[in-house]
Chains A and B, each alone.
Chain A
Amino acid sequence: MRVLLVDDHAEVRALVARALTRDGHAVACVATLAAARASLAEAPPEVVVLDLGLPDGSGIDQCRAWRAAGERVPVLMLTAQGAVAQRVEGLEAGADDYLAKPFALAELRARVRALGRRGPSGAVTSWRQGGVVLDLGARAARVDGVEVPLTAREWALLEFLATRAGRVVRRAEILEGVWGDDSPQASASLDVLAARVRRKLGATVLRTIRGEGYALGAGP
């Protein structure tokens, strides 16, 4: 997978690149937004890892500009743990996920893998079936007009399935695309998560196809 890494700190860049390369990704490293724009046009990546404070501007503004221009490459933002506002702003600007610095490399690798599996960002903006309406852009779910709380992870699962609506998605694919790892722990979490989503949205929204995987909607 091609990954574009945008970070102005040379050492961090080198280390992250080394880790991602070990996972078999092709990593393009740049230190500025200008270079990132050039690289994006030249060799479109499948995932962008974007630091926020860059010498020639804010990663958030760049992300917003890309989305406005129709660029749908998944973006992973690197932010500070306490910087809540920055994270919120980043997600609103169209970033797909965030990782709090300083992060564990294992976590970064998992997120990059997951984003790569998810595919283009914002491909599906809404989904409905019967009384259930999912507004994926605004992250608002309604059942018969009543708003229902869904967590970030639940949204990630629903979004992953919604972009593949109408087909059965294999367990391993979901684990890779939402958790970024297919450990037994992640596998157990998937079942718990699916059960909770069903209790919130109704049993018919999320179908289990035994031995195969999950599918969104009542099926054909």
Chain B
Amino acid sequence: MSGGATFVGRVARAMAAAAVLSAIASAALTSGIAWRAAVRDGDRRLDQAAQTLGVEVPAKLTDAEAAAHADDEQLEVAPAGLRIALFAGGRRLGGDASLDPSHARGCRDDRAWRRCSVGIAGGRVVEVAGPRGPLRAQASALAAASLLAALVAGFAGVALSGRVSSRIVRPLRRLRDDVAAVDVANPGASWPAVNDGHAEIDALRDAVGGMLSRLDAALAQSQRFAADAAHELRTPLGALRAELELAAEEPGTPPELRAAQHRATEQVRSLGLLVERLLILAAPDDALRASREAVALCEVVEESLAALGATPRVRTDLDEAAHVRGDAVLLRALVDNLVTNALKFAPDGEVTVRVAADPDAVTVRVEDHGPGFDASERERVFEAFYRSPQARAGGVRGHGLGLALVHRIAAAHGGRACVADVPRGACVVVTLPRWRPSA
């Protein structure tokens, strides 16, 4: 995977941030609610104390009797930390001496105290107060607890976010794997028609599948076009060639005409070869892989040299055990191109064709003593239509297709072609998998 920002990382970070923020928010909310609940609870206790005194002091009691009850009540609630006093018309009747009468009924904060003022029968008022300290302690303990819980949740969120987010992107990974597995030669057919079960991913899959089948159609069309064009050219070229060959057999042709016939035949032959080479370069890989016959490279080289009439300058070293599986016609084209290049670019000197066999691989090595390859062009010479500047300037004929064809045929046979480092001249090595018994 690339070292850049990943989607998983992004999702994980977003999830972690969300976890921490929601933890803090939930802690604040919980402690707020807890605080208010605690206050309400405290108020209810104060109110109850006031109501209890209210029941003990009905309207018919005299102020003195009421005061006695208030004093008793004060003694009773004092251990619980409460203070209670009874007032009538703003005048203290009894109870805690330090409590002042309030102006309004209800509960309010009064410095370190929470106090409630409750009206009872006979126009009397009970003032009751409880310390806020315990309340605050209880609320902050609650807040701390909820904050702790939230933080734990937040950390767990952070810790899990990586794993969870990679789970989330799993469908994306599958999509990536499927995209990576698309066969270049056959894009649409190699797209799995499975659905992922996630609407967004499936939409994406459908879009990719649609694009691939359009690509398929375009590819098929261009291949058909190339094949049709070549076929249309092939037949008249074949006819022309046959015509010239038959004419050359006629007796009594003047020598000049015979020479012209010969040149024309050569032209037509090389034109036909060009069409075939283009067709091979345009063919899909699969089409070149169909044949699995045993081919002895020594036989291919011998036939090639015999056909090229190249024997005098060419030295061979052929291991006859070097067999491959593949197509004799294509391998013949491969050898033809290597030998033709050597003879063409190295106008004199020896050309060596060596066929060797390893346990697993066989090699064809064609070497000459000509100008060789420039270090800068070792890769490029295998591209179609590439010709080196020297070849162009030197007036050597060619289309720049030979080595592209060599490369393609080698690849179709599961092998490769490369330019080897030699002190002098050129050396092209083709390595192919060796023939094995079929399983």
Contacts and interface: CB of A to CB of B under 8 A. Distances in A.
Interface of A: 9, 11-12, 15-16, 18-19, 22, 53, 80-85, 87-89, 100-106, 139-140, 146-147, 149-153, 185, 189, 192, 196, 199
Given A81-B276, A105-B245, A185-B306, A147 B238 contact: no
B435 A149 contact: yes
Interface in B279-300: 279-280, 283, 286-296, 299
Given A80-B231, A80-B279, 14 more contacts: A12-B235, A15-B239, A83-B283, A83-B287, A84-B329, A85-B290, A87-B291, A102-B234, A104-B269, A105-B241, A149-B323, A149-B435, A151-B294, A153-B299
Contacts of A82: 276, 279-280, 283, 287-288, 330
B299 A103 contact: no
A103 B328 CA distance: 16
A81 B279 contact: yes
B178 to A, nearest CB: 27
A16 to B, nearest CB: 7
B230 interface: yes
A106 B269 CA distance: 13
Contacts, number: 106
A19 B246 contact: yes
A178 to B, nearest CB: 13
Interface string B206-242: 0000000000000000000000001100111111011
Nearest to B290: A85
B438 interface: yes
B437 interface: yes
Contacts of A199: 320
B272 interface: yes
Contact of B239 (A11, A100, A106, A149): A11
* A-B interface, 7 closest residue pairs, ranked by CB to CB distance from nearest: A102-B238, A149-B294, A147-B437, A85-B290, A15-B242, A82-B280, A149-B323
B283 to A, nearest CB: 5
A87 B323 contact: no
Interface in B348-392: none
29 contacts: A12-B238, A15-B242, A15-B243, A15-B246, A16-B242, A19-B246, A53-B231, A80-B234, A80-B279, A81-B280, A82-B276, A82-B279, A82-B283, A82-B288, A83-B283, A84-B287, A84-B290, A84-B329, A85-B287, A85-B290, A87-B290, A87-B329, A88-B291, A88-B292, A100-B276, A100-B329, A102-B272, A105-B246, A151-B299
B223 to A, nearest CB: 11
A18 B302 CA distance: 32
Most chain A CB within a 10 A radius of its CB, from B237, B239, B287, B327: B239
Nearest to A89: B290
A18 B244 CA distance: 13
Contacts of A9: 235, 239
Contacts of A84: 287-291, 327, 329-330
Of the four ranges (under 10, 10 to 19, 20 to 34, 35 or more), the interface on chain B belongs to: 35 or more
Contacts of B333: 81
B249 interface: yes
B245 A104 contact: yes
A73 B94 CA distance: 136
Nearest to B235: A9
Given A85-B287, A147-B437, A185-B306, A105 B294 contact: no
Contact of B293 (A22, A152, A196): A152
A104 B246 contact: no
A18 B243 CA distance: 10
A139 B272 CA distance: 32
Most chain B CB within a 10 A radius of its CB, from A82, A84, A185: A82
Nearest to B412: A84
B328 A152 contact: yes
Contact of B320 (A89, A106, A152, A196): A196
Contact of A103 (B238, B280, B290, B306): B238
Contacts of A89: 290
A18 B230 CA distance: 25
A139 B325 CA distance: 13
A106 to B, nearest CB: 7
Given A80-B234, A84-B329, A102-B238, A151 B296 contact: yes
A199 B321 CA distance: 10
Contacts of B330: 82, 84
B324 to A, nearest CB: 9
A9 to B, nearest CB: 5
Contact of B329 (A53, A81, A146): A81
Given A12-B238, A147-B438, A149-B435, A88 B231 contact: no
B353 to A, nearest CB: 16
Contacts of B238: 12, 101-103
A29 B400 CA distance: 40
Contacts of A105: 241-242, 245-246
Nearest to B326: A84
Contacts of A152: 293, 295, 328
A16 B230 CA distance: 21
B430 to A, nearest CB: 18
Contacts of A147: 437-438
A20 to B, nearest CB: 11
Nearest to B241: A102
B173 to A, nearest CB: 36
B438 A22 contact: no
Contacts of A11: 236, 239
